[in-house]
Structure 1
Amino acid sequence: MKNPLNKRYKKELKSDAGKYIAIFLFLVFFIGAMSGFFVADNSVVTNYEESHIKYNIEDGHLAFNIKPAKAVISDIETQNDLKLFPLYYKEEKVKDLDDTLRIYADRDAVNTECVLDGKMPEAANEIALDRMYADNNDLKVGSVITVRDTDYTVSALIAVPDYSCLFESNSDMMFDALGFGVAVLSNEGFEAMSDAHLTYNYAFKYNKAITDDTDANTRSEALIDSLESIIKKYDEPLLQAQVDSVYEDAKGTIKALASEFETASDELETKIRAAMRTAGMLNNAGIAKELGTTEEKYNAMMDAFKEAEGMEDDFDLDSLDKAPKVSLDDYESEAGFDSKLNNAVDTVYKIVDAVEATGIYDCSNIRKNLDKLDKMMDINIDDSGILTVEDYNPRYTNKAIAFVMEDSTSDKASATMMLYIIIAVIAFVFAVTTSNTISKEANVIGTLRASGYSRGELIRHYMFLPVTVTLLAALVGNILGYTVFQRMFVGVYYGNYSLTEYKVLWNGDAFIRTTVVPLILMLVINFIVLSRKLKISPLNFLRGELKKKSRKSVIRLPKKLPFFSKFRLRILFENIPSYLTLFVGVILAGMLVVFGVMFEPLVQDYTALVNETKLASYQYILSDEAKTENNNAEKYCVTSLETMYNKYLTDDVMIYGIKSGSRYVKAEIPSGKVLASNGLLDKFGLKEGDTIDLKEPYGNKVYTFTIAGEYRYDAAISVFMSRSDYLKMFNKGDDYFTGYFSNEELTDISEDSIAAVITEADLIKMVTQLESSMLDFMVVFKALGIVIFLLLMYILTKQIIEKNTKSIAMAKILGFTDIEIGRLYLIMTSFAVLASLLLSIPMIDAVLRWAFHSYLYTEMTGYIPYIVSNSCFVTMVILGLVCYGIVAAGLMLKIKKTPKGEALKNQSL
């Protein structure tokens, strides 16, 4: 026999169509968007990991300033149980675009290409471009680009596993898929291109596979130590040969100088002794007079002789048979190689000057040989053959490889956090709607219970429609998730990363998170609420007494208040729980909306800050020492160190050495302390007086800095110290510098001497790319916020109207029009909505600020300030009011449809 209750489903669905449609659409959008994201994320990550095997990704790479000898390559491979693969590249500008291309020859062993469109270059004038770079610059197969005045036809669009994210340098704050790209030429084309910007880069693969990051780090540190030893073994003989040559050339001159000096010494001694015999041993004035000079000049000459007494070893001919042993550990610059002889020569100059001043001996021959020796001692080390490592990057720290996984992890963490917030909202909605259903159906439930229906039958009955709607929403949501939303999120990934070919993969975890969990949540919440409510006796259901304390203390209102004011206040007091529930919902929805709209104005504000606080219009970083005639240019020193916080990802920190009275860094830097950029202080929670430990990027040496204050510099995480402290800390010579600050372009420095030029465009690269990469995600957040606004406001305001159906019907009987009744209820609810929107602003701001510092900063490298424009909150309020306006219009129709007969129902029995 069919259950008669089944006939009620159609009526219940029709009467609550708005509620079920709202829940259905929300669940569809939520399940579709979240499952689409998790499916896309899982598919991208899995394909990314598989591409490392398929295209034989490197375990790391290192670059040298010159081509290393075969013996060096052999030593590196043998000592570290690895294989080196030459992957030389040339960096060139693309004409008319002013972008940088890193150009390789065709790869056939490691980091091989994935061809996404077209075919690999065969002719010398064909080029394969990174697909991401080509898309961003509207290039496709068949397009023509000009590099170094040579036209190349794009023959293929490719992806390479070592550049899944287009970081030009591992020290960049953010990748640049707009102005930097990777390209591949045929071997013939690569050979034909100029070697002016050639880098001797080698990828390496360990013969035994890496097990994890700990193993990778251990091997990396061993490789660094090995490189230091091998390069020292190679470089020291080259330096020794140059020093030996200088000593050998100087030996004859020193012998001649020593002989002349001995002759001069004998003659001077004879004259001085004769003068002493005449004037007396202690009569300096008399001795000077006998010598034909002044007492002051005589005393200066004797002081110079005393200073030279300790110099016999420096001019011992036996000690000059062999030059001093050169050690790279002892010498940081050229100054170290000639300091000993230079000091000796300087002392001899003092003696010669003192003797010549007296006029008692002709030192012209001595000075001639001394000038010759001094010129020889001005050692200029030829470093063209000295081998140095210009870049070393193991795979696990290489942002160009690892950033996709890191970004996916942070995206997944953000999406998961948002998922649980929305699940909390769903739980909240299910609890509210189920409780509202019980209140609305109280009279029916009482009648059914009195007619003999059990609680179990009624629980199953009232769970049927919510379960059915949820299952249908889950089905439609998953279909959309694996199609529309999945393609959208994959588009976001492929719109920012240079990834290999893609295929959709089933994701069981996404199904559990987005479908199973909400379904179980709905079942549990509905069951608990229904079970608890159905314990009420049938008589109380019939009376509408659903709470233990049905009578509340009445708040007395002033008699002078107008009737309508009293009525609205009664509505407010009776619906305080509903309005508090609305307030919570507004906070959750508003948080998503603000997060969705904050980044576009944040980028604009941050760009303005970067421009306002930039150190100079041009920051030149030199590869070779070069001079400029521009008087406005200022030398500075800079190096990069790494943070050591376990809670955060490793950040590069720029360490600047600034001269006193700098025109570009306008601050007094205390000796022995540093000024930290505002980003460093804000991100890591530091303050004046704190210390921070930073380590070498490719070594184990740790430097400790004491913070004296803040310097406003928004472009990068930086530390500013005095030049003298910098030279002392990093053991550099007095003439050492790294580059120039300038507000004008320096045109008199050779391009080959410039390693990089940092302009305003480079400084804002991070925010430009961040805006591009997050735009689609932010649209989803904004859309979710709008949907939640609509859902919550519809359900909660609808509940307020339904709870007051009897009062509305009674008001109609008393002659109030629909518009007057609408004013009573909707104006009060409008006030509650507006108050909730305004009161939620500081709470949303506090929560997002906490999320930035406690979560976002720990999951990203670099720094972007927490800036929420007032326009974001204005947008949130406007969206909230618009959403409520739509809902209010629907509720006005519901008031019109409320029959007067409702006033006669549910009377206390």
Structure 2
Amino acid sequence: MKSPLVRRLPKELKRDFKKYLIIFLILFLTIGFVSGMFVANNSMLEAGQNAFAKYNVEDGHFNLSGIPTQEMITEIEAEGVKLHEQYYKTTVESNDKTKDSDEEISIRVFKIREDVNKVCIMKGRLPEADGEIAIDRMHADNADMKVGDNIYLDGVKYKITGLIAAGDYSALYKNNSDTMFDALTFDIGFVTGEQYEKIEAKEVYQYAWIYNKKLEDDESKKKAGDNFANKLGEIVMASCFDADPLNDIRVEDYVPEYVNQAIHFATNDFAKDEVMAFYLLIILMGVFAFIFAITISNKIEEDSVVIGTLRASGYTRSELISHYMSLPIIVTLAAAALGNIAGYTLFKNVVVSMYYGTYSLPKYVTLWNPKAFLQTTICPVALMLIINYVVIRRKLVLSPLKFLRNDIRRSKRKKAKRLPKWKFINRFRVRNVFSNVSSYLVLFVGTCFVMVLLMFCLGMPDTIDSYMEDAPKKMYAQYQYFLRGNIDEEGNEISTSNPDAEKSCVSTLITKDKPNIGEEIMVVGYSENSKYIKINSELKGNEIIISEPYADKFGIEEGDTITLKEQFTSKEYDFKVKGVYDYMGSLIVFMPIDNYNEYFGNDPSYFSGYISDTEITDIPEKNIYKVISPEDIVKMAKQLDHSMGSAMDYFAVLTVLIAALLIYLITKIIIEKNRQSISMVKVLGYDNNEISKLYIRTTSILMIIFDFLSVFIAYFVINWFWRKMLSEMSGWFTINISFISYIIMIVAIYVAYLIISFIDFNRIKRIPLSEALKNVE
């Protein structure tokens, strides 16, 4: 025999239709978006993994300062690798829309690849004749270019015949040590071999390698990469002693595949997004599970006599538990089912468009993802079942007699706690809080959850804006010139007549310690009494000053000893930290140039570059390896702003909407629980405005407290999350949230509450005086 309470389910659903509809919509949107993200991520990850074989993605690459001899190539390939020539030329790109722009766009032009790092043609075709070029699809979208448009390389016109995605440039990193990719001012292009030879630009001698024996796991790749780096360094160094010292060959860059951000950043981002989305789903499901639990608890109190009658008539506790869990499970299942359908259709396309709007990804095919079904259907339903089962069973554990007497307290009735001799209204408010403590606790947790999301949405643009404004100002010099060598072809020292220029030494070592092993650290040797690097400490031997980002990221303090190693050999160097320098540009170690040359075994007169506040124009371009200017420092922030700026505004609005709906649900539950009390107060002669002071103003005061407390909690959560996220990336900069954003967060949540409070006031007005007669205690 079925429980008669089953017939009440449609009536209860109709009576609280707005509440269940709001919960359903939030769960539907959340589950749908998370499901779509899982489906899109899985499909794209599969496409990315298949791309390694399909497009023969490299196992790594290195750059040489000159063209190696065939003997050197043979000796390198004897280490178990196959080398593939991958030369490129870097030039300046413009189009009909950016001809007059002040922002310089650089493009790396390759010959069409036949064997390794082949490209996926997204639109059009590869070039077949002179004057044709295929460029990266992501950069083309950012620059509003399409197939058939004209593009100019150093003023020479080319026709775009195709938009491509390269497996070794799924994220457009100009240098692997950059903190962020740059699809705005950096591009890659492919031309025919004949056209490539006609391009007049500086050529980089890059070689990609493929291991003769395929390696699968990162541990074996790391071991092989370290061994090959050491062997490569030894082979190249040995060749220098046999060659003309003015034309010696050096390894200028070495990037194994497993640490190549241009290859792995996008796929790593997919995995991080998936984990974060799942945690957000679980937290939100937990919040709504407790909302359901509170609602059901209030309903059980309301139905106590009916429950007692049914229990006395022979109905089991399990049957009653099943009944009261029906609506939460039905709503959750409906949201999960429809959310998964929407995830595979609507939301999957939304996520895909977001990723294609950020990364240069190859074509993909939508795949069925059982993990998405498990995490977005089974997990939410299971969480809803467990929480509600525990709460309902604990509520129904009492005897039938207690339910019949409407005495459903599990503990003995205690004497009311004595309160100070406050005014009646204040004492009433305090007791109201005590009687609704579980609802207010859920409201506080929900507010904290929403505030974390809102702080991230507002804090990210603030941090980017602050970095773009402050970083160029805090550069120790506006221009940093890195030379290929300090001696020119005629054997003379490379010099400049620029009075602002100072000699410097720069080399790159890598870290051995966590959080990011293998991260590049720039070691800078500065001139005595430098007007750019103003360090007053007297340093000796291996004593150094480190930049503030380096100290912050790795937790290094004055007096610590750090160990760095050469990238291409096993040689290590110990440094003693004597202080921290206020420079936020990158991870740098500073030491006097004399100490630098002595410690690294260089000639006392050796230098590797110049630093200056004005541009140096009298050094031949062929002698310059790289130049760092303020534009290079802020390009990462510009890319972040372009990729995430508009999305953050959208999610901020969505977050405030979720906050309003959450507040609506909780305050509705509180008022419904106190319907009889509100009705009784009306019988005693209080009008609606006075009653609102007892209930609505109580919640208003608590919301102010929750608002401010949640800001502090959200700050610590976001700060922890930011440090964890940046620790896994190259570079470092601290999160910086403006005071205005804090005000906006607090005001936005409270304004959302004030709007809901008007709805609550109307709800109180509709409670009739006859409700007080329903009390049968």
Normalising to structure 2: TM-score of the pair? Answer: 0.93
Deviations 1:387-446 (A, max 9, x none): 333332221222211222333333334334434433432443343333233234334433
Offset at residue 712 of structure 1 (A): 1.0
Taking the aligned partners of 1:834 and 1:859, their CA distance within structure 2 comes to 37
What corresponds to 1:182 in structure 2? 188
What corresponds to 2:521 in structure 1? 653
> Which one of the candidate residues 812, 818, 822 is aligned to 2:688?
818
Deviations 1:198-250 (A, max 9, x none): 122222222221232232233333333433444355433334xxxxxxxxxxx
Cα gap change, 1:203 to 1:747, in 2 (>3 Å): same
What corresponds to 1:598 in structure 2? 459
Summarize the alignment of residues 376-387 of structure 1 with structure 2, pairs less than 5 Å apart. 381=245, 383-384=246-247, 386-387=248-249
Taking the aligned partners of 2:75 and 2:273, their CA distance within structure 1 comes to 42
Q: Give yes or no for contact 1:433–1:795 (8 Å, CA) kept in 2.
A: no
What corresponds to 2:734 in structure 1? 865
Q: Quick check: 523-532 or 721-730, which moved more?
A: 523-532
Task: Please state if 1:758 is matched with 2:628.
Answer: yes
The code of the aligned residue for 1:22 comes to: I
Summarize the alignment of residues 421-500 of structure 1 with structure 2, pairs less than 5 Å apart. 421-500=283-362
Taking the aligned partners of 1:423 and 1:731, their CA distance within structure 2 comes to 62
The code of the aligned residue for 2:496 comes to: T
Deviations 1:449-505 (A, max 9, x none): 345433232222222211111111011211222223222222222222111112222
Q: Give yes or no for contact 1:111–1:160 (8 Å, CA) kept in 2.
A: yes
What corresponds to 1:332 in structure 2? none
Offset at residue 808 of structure 1 (A): 0.8
What corresponds to 1:215 in structure 2? 220
Deviations 1:652-696 (A, max 9, x none): 211111122111112224323211111111111111111111111
SS at match of 2:472: helix
Structure 2 residue runs of 5 or longer lacking an equivalent are 487-493
Summarize the alignment of residues 321-720 of structure 1 with structure 2, pairs less than 5 Å apart. 381=245, 383-384=246-247, 386-549=248-411, 551-557=413-419, 561-625=422-486, 626-648=494-516, 650-672=518-540, 673-720=543-590
Cα gap change, 1:750 to 1:436, in 2 (>3 Å): farther
Aligned length: 761
Cα gap change, 1:428 to 1:722, in 2 (>3 Å): farther
Q: Quick check: 32-41 or 682-691, which moved more?
A: 32-41
Q: Give yes or no for contact 2:35–2:373 (8 Å, CA) kept in 1.
A: yes
What corresponds to 1:145 in structure 2? 151
Cα gap change, 1:226 to 1:841, in 2 (>3 Å): closer
Q: Give yes or no for contact 2:656–2:748 (8 Å, CA) kept in 1.
A: yes
Q: Percent identity?
A: 41
Summarize the alignment of residues 37-436 of structure 1 with structure 2, pairs less than 5 Å apart. 37-77=37-77, 79-95=78-94, 96=99, 98-194=104-200, 196-232=201-237, 234-239=239-244, 381=245, 383-384=246-247, 386-436=248-298
Q: Quick check: 49-58 or 63-72, which moved more?
A: 63-72
The code of the aligned residue for 1:39 comes to: V
Offset at residue 649 of structure 1 (A): 5.1
Offset at residue 554 of structure 1 (A): 2.8
The code of the aligned residue for 1:71 comes to: E
Deviations 1:46-98 (A, max 9, x none): 11111111111111222222222222222222x12322222221111114362
Deviations 1:119-143 (A, max 9, x none): 1111100010011111111111111
What corresponds to 2:490 in structure 1? none
Q: Give yes or no for contact 2:55–2:119 (8 Å, CA) kept in 1.
A: yes
The code of the aligned residue for 1:836 comes to: F
Q: Give yes or no for contact 2:64–2:206 (8 Å, CA) kept in 1.
A: yes
> Which one of the candidate residues 871, 886, 891 is aligned to 2:760?
891
For the aligned residue pairs, the C-alpha RMSD in angstroms reads: 2.3
Q: Give yes or no for contact 1:90–1:197 (8 Å, CA) kept in 2.
A: yes
Normalising to structure 1: TM-score of the pair? Answer: 0.80
Taking the aligned partners of 2:649 and 2:35, their CA distance within structure 1 comes to 16
Q: Give yes or no for contact 1:167–1:399 (8 Å, CA) kept in 2.
A: yes
The code of the aligned residue for 1:197 comes to: K
SS at match of 2:332: helix
Taking the aligned partners of 2:756 and 2:21, their CA distance within structure 1 comes to 13
Q: Quick check: 795-804 or 844-853, which moved more?
A: 844-853
Taking the aligned partners of 2:411 and 2:10, their CA distance within structure 1 comes to 34
Q: Give yes or no for contact 1:492–1:776 (8 Å, CA) kept in 2.
A: no
Cα gap change, 1:513 to 1:777, in 2 (>3 Å): farther
Q: Quick check: 471-480 or 768-777, which moved more?
A: 768-777
Offset at residue 832 of structure 1 (A): 0.9
Taking the aligned partners of 1:835 and 1:94, their CA distance within structure 2 comes to 55
Offset at residue 550 of structure 1 (A): 5.7
Offset at residue 599 of structure 1 (A): 0.3
Taking the aligned partners of 1:132 and 1:686, their CA distance within structure 2 comes to 39
Taking the aligned partners of 2:631 and 2:608, their CA distance within structure 1 comes to 21
SS at match of 1:613: coil
SS at match of 1:612: coil
Offset at residue 544 of structure 1 (A): 3.3
Offset at residue 784 of structure 1 (A): 6.1
Offset at residue 557 of structure 1 (A): 5.0
Deviations 1:785-835 (A, max 9, x none): 435423432232222212211111112222322233223210111111111
The code of the aligned residue for 1:892 comes to: F
Larger-gyration structure (1/2) = 1
The code of the aligned residue for 2:628 comes to: I
Q: Give yes or no for contact 1:649–1:860 (8 Å, CA) kept in 2.
A: no
What corresponds to 1:901 in structure 2? 770
> Which one of the candidate residues 699, 702, 709 is aligned to 1:832?
702
SS at match of 1:177: coil
Taking the aligned partners of 2:747 and 2:157, their CA distance within structure 1 comes to 53
Deviations 1:857-893 (A, max 9, x none): 4332211203232233322222211321232232223
Structure 1 residue runs of 5 or longer lacking an equivalent are 240-380
Q: Give yes or no for contact 1:440–1:802 (8 Å, CA) kept in 2.
A: no
Taking the aligned partners of 1:803 and 1:423, their CA distance within structure 2 comes to 23
Taking the aligned partners of 1:141 and 1:640, their CA distance within structure 2 comes to 40
Taking the aligned partners of 1:516 and 1:778, their CA distance within structure 2 comes to 30
Cα gap change, 1:549 to 1:235, in 2 (>3 Å): closer
Q: Give yes or no for contact 1:30–1:784 (8 Å, CA) kept in 2.
A: no
Taking the aligned partners of 2:418 and 2:148, their CA distance within structure 1 comes to 83
Q: Give yes or no for contact 2:551–2:557 (8 Å, CA) kept in 1.
A: yes
Summarize the alignment of residues 739-750 of structure 1 with structure 2, pairs less than 5 Å apart. 739-750=609-620
Taking the aligned partners of 2:206 and 2:507, their CA distance within structure 1 comes to 22
What corresponds to 1:880 in structure 2? 749
Offset at residue 777 of structure 1 (A): 6.1
Q: Give yes or no for contact 1:37–1:486 (8 Å, CA) kept in 2.
A: yes
Cα gap change, 1:780 to 1:521, in 2 (>3 Å): farther
Taking the aligned partners of 2:703 and 2:603, their CA distance within structure 1 comes to 68
Q: Give yes or no for contact 2:233–2:251 (8 Å, CA) kept in 1.
A: no
Cα gap change, 1:452 to 1:783, in 2 (>3 Å): farther
Q: Give yes or no for contact 1:29–1:477 (8 Å, CA) kept in 2.
A: yes
Offset at residue 598 of structure 1 (A): 0.9
SS at match of 1:877: helix
